Amino acid sequence: MNHTMEMRVIARIHSEFPGKFGIPRQSGLIDSLRATVVFEPAFRSPDALRGIEGYSHLWLIWQFSECVNEDGSWSPTVRPPRLGGNKRVGVFATRAPYRPNPIGLSSVKLEEVRLHTPDGPVLVVSGADLMDGTPIYDIKPYLAYVDSHPEATDGFALAQKEGVLTVDCPESLLSLLPEGRRQALLDVLAQDPRPQYQNDPDRMYQFEFAGVHVEFMVDGDVLMVKQIQSI
Q: For residue 37, how many C-alpha atoms fall within 13 Å in the half-sphere facing its CB?
A: 32
User: Could you give the CA distance from residue 124 to residue 205 in angstroms, rounded to a whole number?
Assistant: 30
Instruction: For residue 217, name the pLDDT band (cuts at 50, 70, 90).
Output: very high
Q: Which amino acid is at 141?
A: P
pLDDT of residue 80: 79
User: Could you give the CA distance from residue 132 to residue 172 in angstroms, rounded to a whole number?
Assistant: 27
pLDDT tens, residue by residue, 29-58: 999 999 999 999 999 999 999 999 999 999
pLDDT of residue 207: 96
Which one is the CATH code of 162-230: 3.40.50.720, 3.30.2310.20, 2.60.40.10, 1.10.460.10? 3.30.2310.20
Note the pTM of the prediction, 2 decimals: 0.90
Residue-range domain boundaries for the chain: 11-67+102-147, 162-230
User: Could you give the CA distance from residue 231 to residue 226 in angstroms, rounded to a whole number?
Assistant: 16
pLDDT tens, residue by residue, 143-181: 999 999 999 888 877 644 456 899 999 999 999 999 999
Q: What CATH number was assigned to the domain covering residues 11-67+102-147?
A: 2.40.30.70
Phi and psi of 109, rounded to 5°? -90, 135
Phi and psi of 46, rounded to 5°? -55, -30
